């Protein structure tokens, strides 16, 4: 991927059979290595799904308007952390192109698209929803943890204009009940609107959790992924 904004090779959890792949996108300001270490610390293992590889890309370093223009590893730019503002389409679309290239490279190694799951935490989950519902409906699934879409998201517009009866990857969402940075109501509203537009989705509230990952949440997530992509 010469010229790619994504730094590779990506850090990952390997597996014995590698019959499927998870792309796990970190939250704003983090890195692939950072979220990988976070997950390993919570689960005390790096073999989270024995038959699947888990890939942790790192978002490019870019000026982030929400932080006053400071450089940060973010998947896209935004002017405020609120569902009421407009999406920054230029950076979202460019990042989608880059991630799709990475996913297509994975397919070229022999992993079918229908055995690939894309998701992430916070901003990473929002980026994953753009990938799954605007670009790659053939994915096995999408997950979004402590995430939301803007009220006028291009994801909703794309789904409204999609052919009737079109199948979309199922969505798995979790949100901490005590999240004050991204209130759970934002995530639930995203879930409800996507369901209205034909996406099969689950929304789980993680009791007493803040804007964070938890061990229980991750174990349930990886169990769900294993049902979507069972061992060969």
- What is the mean predicted confidence (pLDDT) over 80-102? 97
Nearest to 23 by CA among 58, 66, 74: 58
pLDDT above 80 (res 3): no
In a domain, 110, yes or no: yes
In a domain, 27, yes or no: yes
Give percent of the chain above pLDDT 70: 97
**CATH at 168:** 3.40.50.1820
Contact 158, 186 (CB under 8 A): no
Q: How confident is the model at residue 8 (pLDDT cuts 50, 70, 90)?
A: low
In a domain, 201, yes or no: yes
Q: For the chain, how many structural domains are there in total? A: 1
In a domain, 200, yes or no: yes
146-to-5, 72, 77, 108, 119 alpha-carbon distances in Å:
25, 19, 18, 31, 11
- Domain containing residue 43: 11-228
- Tens digits of residue pLDDT in 26-75: 999 999 999 999 999 999 998 899 999 999 999 999 999 999 999 999 99
Taking each helix axis from N to C end, the angle separating 89-108 and 123-130, rounded to the nearest 10 degrees, works out to 70
> Residue 116 is encoded by which pair of tokens?
């690939």
Count the alpha carbons within 13 Å of 106 in the hemisphere toward its beta carbon: 30
84-to-1, 104, 154, 184 alpha-carbon distances in Å:
35, 33, 13, 15
- Tens digits of residue pLDDT in 193-214: 999 999 999 999 999 999 999 9
pLDDT above 80 (res 5): no
In a domain, 55, yes or no: yes
In a domain, 3, yes or no: no
63 alpha carbon, distance to own chain's centre: 21
Residues marked as catalytic: 122, 179, 211
């Amino acid at each position: 991927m010469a010229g790619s904004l994504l730094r590779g090779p990506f850090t990952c959890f390997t597996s014995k059979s590698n019959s499927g792949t998870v792309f796990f996108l970190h939250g704003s300001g983090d890195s692939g290595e950072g979220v990988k270490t976070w997950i390993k610390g919570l689960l005390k293992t790096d073999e989270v799904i024995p038959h699947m590889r888990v890939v942790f890309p790192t978002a490019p370093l870019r000026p982030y308007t929400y932080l006053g223009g400071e450089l940060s590893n973010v998947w896209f730019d935004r002017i405020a952390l609120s569902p009421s503002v407009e999406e920054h389409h230029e950076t979202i679309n460019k990042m989608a192109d880059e991630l799709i290239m990475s996913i297509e490279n994975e397919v070229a190694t022999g992993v079918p698209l229908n055995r690939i799951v894309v998701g992430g935490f916070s901003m990473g989950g929002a980026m994953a929803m753009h990938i799954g519902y605007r670009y790659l409906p053939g994915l096995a699934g999408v997950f979004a943890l402590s995430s939301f879409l803007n009220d006028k998201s291009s994801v909703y517009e794309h789904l409204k204009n999609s052919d009737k009866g079109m199948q979309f990857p199922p969505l798995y969402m979790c949100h901490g009940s005590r999240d004050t940075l991204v209130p759970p109501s934002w995530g639930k509203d995203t879930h409800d609107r996507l369901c209205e537009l034909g996406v099969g989705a689950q929304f789980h509230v993680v009791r007493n959790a803040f804007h964070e990952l938890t061990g229980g949440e991750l174990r349930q997530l990886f169990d769900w992924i294993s049902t979507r992509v069972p061992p060969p």
